[in-house]
Amino acid sequence: MATDVQLFLAIREIDKSVSTETKWLHEIANQHKVDELTLDLNTKPMEDMLETKSFGSVSIDRSRNTVPINHPNMKEAQIPREAKCNKIDQIRLQQNICIQYNKKRIDTNNFGCMICSNGDIILTDGPSKKFVVFNEKGNHIKDIPVLCIPSDLTEISEGQIAVTYGNEYKFEIADIKDYNYKTVKLVRTESTCWGTSCDNGQLVVKCTNNGIHMYDINGETTMKIKDDEIYGGLNLIYNIAIFNGRTYFSNSEELTYCD
């Protein structure tokens, strides 16, 4: 028994043949100026055609397609290459947007800034105990209130951040989906904590007089770098960043990194 697909294909082929023959009959009638055509069904050919139960068969075959993949020739002139920048003085920054903020309220508690993966820009407002959220065009979206004075913040993943609370001796991992703050985990630190950064599942926090502490995204300690292990000490270091396994920190005079 034919499947629905086979029946559809057979009817379509029959319809094509009927359309072709109908067009041919119309052309004959127009050429001979005939207004009426008579079909005699009692002839032997017509009787055989009307008694025919099958006009043929329809089959469907499946074959595997092959797609050739051409590898680029390394000797060709156009080869995609990543832009290289060997020295920091070769980097040129250009202002993209300018966010107007109330300068009267900016103090040492307002140094936290983060650009989210969705393009939002979040600033910490320590005196007001809140985060101020802007979109990628610099337009204010919403304020997110928190219970303590926030210091610095960093994105762990989309919708999840880590926040340090300087003099509170703690940092928190929190969700900020739909711009609502919800603590996921609170981590107590040995001293005040300020700068923080996250990259590829590694979270670093600068703790006063206790160096740099490294955590996983669950808030579990993985490593500690003491002040005396770094040239010049870390007491005056607040700003910190981690990228590709290297931790960078700075004071007012120089930038230092450690593996």
CA distance 188 to 207: 11
- Residue 27 is predicted with a pLDDT of 78
pLDDT in tens, 38-74: 766 666 666 666 666 665 665 667 777 776 766 656 5
| High-pLDDT (> 70) share of the chain, % | 68
Q: What distance in Å separates the CA atoms of residue 155 and residue 202, rounded to the nearest whole number?
A: 11
Question: CB count, 10 Å around CB of 113?
Answer: 13
User: Looking at the domain covering 88-258, what would its CATH class be?
Assistant: mainly beta
Residue 85 pLDDT: 60
Distance (Å, whole) CA 212 – CA 233: 11
User: Predicted confidence band at 196 (pLDDT cuts at 50, 70, 90)?
Assistant: very high
Q: Is the pLDDT of residue 122 over 60?
A: yes
| pLDDT tens digits, 177-194 | 889 999 999 999 988 888
pLDDT, tens digit, 9 for 90 and up, residues 137-166: 889 999 999 999 999 999 999 999 999 998
Give the whole-number percent of the chain exceeding pLDDT 90.
28
Going from N- to C-terminal start, the domains of the chain cover 4-50, 88-258
Q: Among 3-7, 34-38, 100-104, 140-144, whose mean pLDDT is lowest?
A: 100-104
pTM score, whole prediction: 0.60
- Tell me, what's the pLDDT at 29? 74
Tell me what pLDDT residue 236 has.
61
Q: Which residue has the higher pLDDT, 107 or 135?
A: 135
